[in-house]
């Protein structure tokens, strides 16, 4: 691991940038208030700033602004209502029920308002027992409102000063994720690869790439300043993101039968050279990502052309010494792998050229795409959507019930006198943080919360016990706060670790000498909240992943069918248009990632709920292979007329029929006999005959050492095209067989 590169990634990332902004927005007012001796009295001011800051999720300016305004209004209303009812115990439980259901149900409008809803419940926990407000209800609420507005003003100023910063950082993150994806792919070529482990890691990385691409699409395609303005920066950012999406497809095309390639060439040492070169390309992509995040211009770390030339020289030497009539097909496969690697290299070189900030290039950018169609639509804010989800069939409503039950139980336990809990709102807040819609996610966050809290509490205890210097403590407080916010999205355990430290330090600043009480309360409250959250997620209207897998399988199978149809139609010169093709590609990648995510969560469900896990795993793998092989097929920009030796019409019918059979099984529909017959078609290709002739030529004639990396024989392309079509069919057939095994449980 290159620690310098990893540090640069972190230091220039959107998460650390956002964390610093929120932390400074909290600390600077706190320092001013502390200077005048008012921090204890006005502690709610920086607290409100932190809560509103946490609702500020990446996305288009208008959506962020509207969500912040809604959060400010919600927080103010909750603070007033909760403070007013704190002395009426009988009304507190109805208050918890009403607010819990309402704010959790906001999730029907998307993740942005779901975050606002969760933080609103945290605010409810802060004000519910009046520990931080006392009897000055209106004053406390107004202070809280002022702190909320403070962050909003900072957001407006920063957005005005740096309108492109967020988009640039998110696009940079795309390149960093793609770099890690390529790094994983490179390991298939190294010595003794663990194929199963690598495939599992690649599927996990696909999920991360899909989620990030979705967030970036919303930010880039919904930001008017980027889409509508014709500035050099806006056009270049758009170009960089579109290049990242196309580069992702090129990386997917590098899918091969790695076991066979290793069997044929593993002992030669050439595959290790390929793996090393791909790792170098991965580092170049990381360099591009870091440059985008930091707002600087990227320059190549190495001479890509020179390194690629060395790879080709090694390949030609190997071919000259090992090529025979029997190994002809294997060397053709290796030549195609090199061709794909060259395409990735060319894409990276093009991206570096974009960084030259060539105005002619920027002004000539015209994609012809309707960006609105590439962004997942959010539910519109209307009461009909909200009310129709009040049903046990709705996952949002079931989650709202679980949250409500857990918070009622948690609050009741926190009020038990014999437990002597001094900071009861920690139970409330921890339940909100841990309890998520999926049992698997709740279980995972529960463990991370416990580990992070215990470790953070021990470290914080040691810091406060051994360090008395207030300046050092303040630096540690600020650092832990920044790191907490930076890790909150990417590494929850570390986020909780640093959160616990800064909470301890904050309470020490406000009320020194209560270290043992804080330590006991923090650990005890986390354990109580964890037990409550786990029990509720397990027993109250639980949602097991196996109940949702068929829906994800249907969507993935249908998307792959549409993706193949679009790729074949585009290849056969049928009018489809680049936009429709790219839309089907986007849907296939998204639905594949959602299916993979469902499988990953299902692994964490109780054993008795992991129904047909092995079959689902096979379905996920075959879906991944089908999508990747279709991406490989789509890379041939030439028309099918250029390859009359391949019977594309028969292949189209054959593969489409097999993909359609899977869709019909999943949807409990009968398969027409004609479809079965089409799936058994034998295309009338002449590729094998041409290959046989070439083998005879090798046996009878002298081999000519032609060394032109830019030239690839027509026969090699033919062989590869046919192999890709065969691979798509084989994967589709295997998936259909797996689906047939699942048929009895499909309802």
pLDDT in tens, 365-407: 445 554 555 555 555 667 778 888 888 888 889 999 999 999 9
CB 738 within 8 A of CB 615: yes
Give CA–CA dist 459/328, Å, rounded.
63
Give CA–CA dist 575/412, Å, rounded.
65
- Banded model confidence at residue 260, pLDDT cuts 50, 70, 90: confident
* Residue that has been written with the tokens 């990893």 in this structure: 6
pLDDT for the residue numbered 178? 93
Residue 627 has a CB neighbour count (10 Å cut-off) of 27
Domain match, 316 and 424 both: no
Residue 717 has a CB neighbour count (10 Å cut-off) of 18
Q: Cα angle at 601 between 596 and 606, to 5 degrees? A: 140
- Residue 383 corresponds to which tokens in the numbers above? 């009461």
- Residue 154 corresponds to which tokens in the numbers above? 């900072």
Helix (H, G, I), strand (E, B) or coil at 672: coil
Give CA–CA dist 690/673, Å, rounded.
34
* Residue that has been written with the tokens 């802060």 in this structure: 126
pLDDT for the residue numbered 386? 82
The answer to whether residue 398 is domain-embedded is: no
Largest CA distance in the chain: 100
Give CA–CA dist 735/629, Å, rounded.
14
Identify the H or E element spanning 630: helix 613-634
CB 687 within 8 A of CB 718: yes
Domain match, 189 and 91 both: no
Give CA–CA dist 642/714, Å, rounded.
9
Give CA–CA dist 413/410, Å, rounded.
5
CB 293 within 8 A of CB 169: yes
pLDDT over 90 percentage in the chain:
24
Cα–Cα separations (whole angstroms), residue 198 to 190, 193, 258, 277, 662: 12, 8, 11, 18, 27
Question: Is 514's pLDDT higher than 90?
Answer: no
pLDDT for the residue numbered 371? 52
Whole-number average pLDDT of the chain: 83
DSSP code, position 267: G
Domain match, 302 and 207 both: yes
- Banded model confidence at residue 66, pLDDT cuts 50, 70, 90: very high
Question: Is 17's pLDDT higher than 70?
Answer: yes
pLDDT for the residue numbered 316? 86
Task: Spell out the SS3 assignment of 631-679.
Answer: HHHHCCCCCHHHCCCCCHHHHHHHHHHHHHHHHHHHCCCCCCHHHHHHH
Domain match, 646 and 710 both: yes
The answer to whether residue 28 is domain-embedded is: yes
pLDDT for the residue numbered 100? 94
Tally of structural domains, the chain: 4
- Banded model confidence at residue 41, pLDDT cuts 50, 70, 90: confident
The answer to whether residue 587 is domain-embedded is: yes
Nearest to 610 by CA among 600, 620, 619: 600
C-alpha neighbours within 13 Å on the C-beta side of residue 364: 6
Residue 299 belongs to a domain with what CATH number?
1.20.58
Question: Is 432's pLDDT higher than 50?
Answer: yes
Q: Which of 538, 560, 585 represents a domain boundary (last residue)? A: 538
Give CA–CA dist 401/537, Å, rounded.
10
Who wins on pLDDT, 286 or 3? Answer: 286
The answer to whether residue 412 is domain-embedded is: no
Give CA–CA dist 51/33, Å, rounded.
19
Question: Is 77's pLDDT higher than 90?
Answer: yes
Domain match, 356 and 477 both: no
Domain match, 329 and 226 both: yes
Q: Which of 367, 385, 407 represents a domain boundary (last residue)? A: 367
Domain match, 509 and 619 both: no
- Residue 553 corresponds to which tokens in the numbers above? 């399988």
Give CA–CA dist 197/2, Å, rounded.
22
pLDDT in tens, 446-504: 888 889 999 999 999 899 888 888 888 888 988 998 999 889 888 889 999 999 998 88
Domain match, 195 and 153 both: no
Question: Is 301's pLDDT higher than 70?
Answer: yes
CB 435 within 8 A of CB 537: yes
- Residue 311 corresponds to which tokens in the numbers above? 């790879």
507 contacts: CB under 8 Å, gap ≥ 6: 514, 518
- Banded model confidence at residue 747, pLDDT cuts 50, 70, 90: very low
Helices of type H across 467-548: 470-487, 492-510, 515-539
C-alpha neighbours within 13 Å on the C-beta side of residue 16: 12
CB 455 within 8 A of CB 497: yes
The answer to whether residue 405 is domain-embedded is: no
Domain match, 227 and 338 both: yes
The answer to whether residue 383 is domain-embedded is: no
The answer to whether residue 468 is domain-embedded is: yes
Domain match, 54 and 94 both: yes
Domain match, 49 and 1 both: yes
pLDDT over 70 percentage in the chain:
87
Domain match, 130 and 66 both: yes
* Residue that has been written with the tokens 């109940």 in this structure: 547
* Residue ranges making up the domain that contains 133: 1-161
- Residue 673 corresponds to which tokens in the numbers above? 């006999």
Helix (H, G, I), strand (E, B) or coil at 124: helix
Q: Which of 522, 538, 554 represents a domain boundary (last residue)? A: 538
Give CA–CA dist 536/142, Å, rounded.
35
- Residue 401 corresponds to which tokens in the numbers above? 């019930």
Give CA–CA dist 589/577, Å, rounded.
19
pLDDT in tens, 665-706: 898 888 778 888 888 888 877 667 776 766 666 655 655 556
CB 49 within 8 A of CB 147: yes
Task: Spell out the SS3 assignment of 361-394.
Answer: HHHCCCCCCCHHHHCCCCCCCCHHHHHHCCCCCC
The answer to whether residue 54 is domain-embedded is: yes
- Banded model confidence at residue 744, pLDDT cuts 50, 70, 90: low
Question: Is 215's pLDDT higher than 70?
Answer: yes
């Amino acid at each position: 691991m290159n620690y310098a590169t990893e540090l640069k990634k972190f230091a220039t990332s959107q998460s650390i940038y956002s964390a610093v902004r929120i932390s400074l927005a909290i600390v600077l007012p706190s320092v001013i208030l502390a200077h005048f001796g008012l921090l204890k009295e006005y502690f709610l001011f920086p607290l409100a700033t932190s809560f509103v800051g946490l609702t500020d999720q990446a996305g288009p300016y208008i959506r962020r602004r509207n969500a912040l305004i809604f959060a400010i209004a919600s927080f103010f209303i909750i603070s007033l209502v909760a403070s007013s009812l704190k002395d009426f115990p009988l009304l507190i439980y109805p208050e918890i029920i009403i607010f819990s259901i309402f704010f959790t149900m906001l999730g029907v409008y998307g993740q942005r308002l779901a975050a606002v809803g969760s933080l609103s419940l945290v605010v409810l926990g802060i004000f519910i027992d009046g520990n931080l407000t006392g009897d000055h209800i209106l004053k406390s609420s107004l202070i809280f409102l002022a702190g909320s507005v403070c962050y909003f003003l900072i957001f407006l100023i920063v957005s005005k000063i740096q309108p492109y910063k967020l988009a640039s950082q998110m696009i940079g993150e795309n390149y960093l994720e793609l770099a890690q994806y390529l790094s994983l792919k490179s390991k298939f070529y190294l010595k003794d690869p663990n194929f199963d482990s690598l495939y599992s890691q690649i599927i996990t990385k696909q999920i991360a790439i899909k989620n990030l691409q979705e967030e970036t699409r919303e930010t880039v395609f919904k930001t008017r300043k980027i889409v509508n303005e014709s500035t050099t920066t806006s056009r270049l950012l758009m170009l960089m993101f579109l290049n990242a999406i196309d580069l992702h497809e090129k990386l997917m095309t590098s899918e091969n039968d790695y076991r066979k390639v290793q069997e044929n060439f593993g002992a030669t040492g050439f595959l290790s050279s390929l793996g090393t070169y791909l790792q170098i390309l991965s580092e170049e992509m990381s360099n591009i990502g870091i440059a985008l995040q930091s707002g600087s211009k990227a320059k190549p770390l190495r001479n890509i052309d020179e390194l690629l030339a060395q790879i080709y020289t090694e390949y030609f030497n190997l071919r000259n010494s090992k090529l025979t009539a029997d190994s002809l097909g294997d060397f053709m496969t290796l030549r195609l792998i090199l061709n794909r690697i060259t395409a990735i290299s060319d894409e990276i070189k093009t991206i570096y050229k974009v960084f030259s900030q060539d105005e002619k290039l920027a002004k000539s950018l015209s994609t012809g795409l309707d960006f609105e169609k590439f962004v997942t639509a959010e539910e519109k804010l209307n009461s009909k959507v909200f009310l129709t989800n009040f049903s046990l069939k709705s996952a949002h409503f079931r989650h709202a019930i679980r949250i409500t039950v857990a918070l009622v139980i948690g609050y009741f336990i926190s009020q038990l006198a014999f437990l002597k809990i001094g900071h009861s709102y920690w139970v409330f807040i921890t339940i909100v943080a841990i309890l998520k819609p999926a049992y698997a996610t709740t279980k995972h966050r529960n463990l991370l919360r416990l580990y992070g809290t215990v470790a953070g509490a021990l470290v914080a205890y040691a810091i406060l016990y051994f360090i008395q210097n207030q300046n050092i403590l303040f630096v540690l407080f600020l650092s832990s706060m920044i790191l907490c916010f930076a890790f909150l999205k990417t590494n929850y355990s570390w986020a909780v670790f640093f959160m616990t430290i800064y909470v301890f330090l904050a309470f020490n600043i406000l009320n020194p000498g209560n270290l043992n009480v804080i330590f006991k309360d923090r650990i005890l409250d986390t354990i109580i909240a964890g037990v409550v959250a786990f029990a509720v997620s397990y027993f109250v209207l639980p949602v097991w992943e196996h109940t949702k897998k068929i829906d994800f399988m249907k969507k993935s199978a249908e998307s792959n069918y549409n993706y193949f149809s679009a790729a074949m139609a585009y290849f056969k010169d049928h009018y489809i248009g680049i936009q429709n093709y790219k839309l089907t590609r986007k849907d296939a990648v998204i639905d594949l990632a959602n299916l993979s995510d469902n499988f990953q969560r299902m692994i964490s469900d109780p054993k008795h709920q992991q129904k047909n896990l092995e079959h689902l795993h096979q379905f996920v793998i075959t879906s991944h292979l089908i999508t990747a092989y279709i991406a490989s097929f789509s890379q041939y920009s030439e028309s099918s007329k250029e390859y009359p030796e391949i019977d594309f019409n028969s292949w189209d019918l054959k593969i489409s029929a097999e993909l359609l059979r899977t869709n019909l099984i999943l949807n409990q529909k009968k398969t027409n006999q004609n479809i079965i017959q089409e799936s058994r078609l034998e295309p009338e290709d002449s590729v094998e005959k041409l290959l046989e002739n070439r083998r005879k030529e090798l046996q009878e004639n002298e081999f000519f050492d032609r060394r032109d990396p830019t030239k690839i024989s027509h026969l090699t392309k033919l062989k590869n095209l046919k192999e890709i079509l065969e691979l798509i069919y084989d994967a589709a057939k295997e998936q259909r067989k797996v689906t047939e095994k699942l048929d009895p449980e499909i309802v």
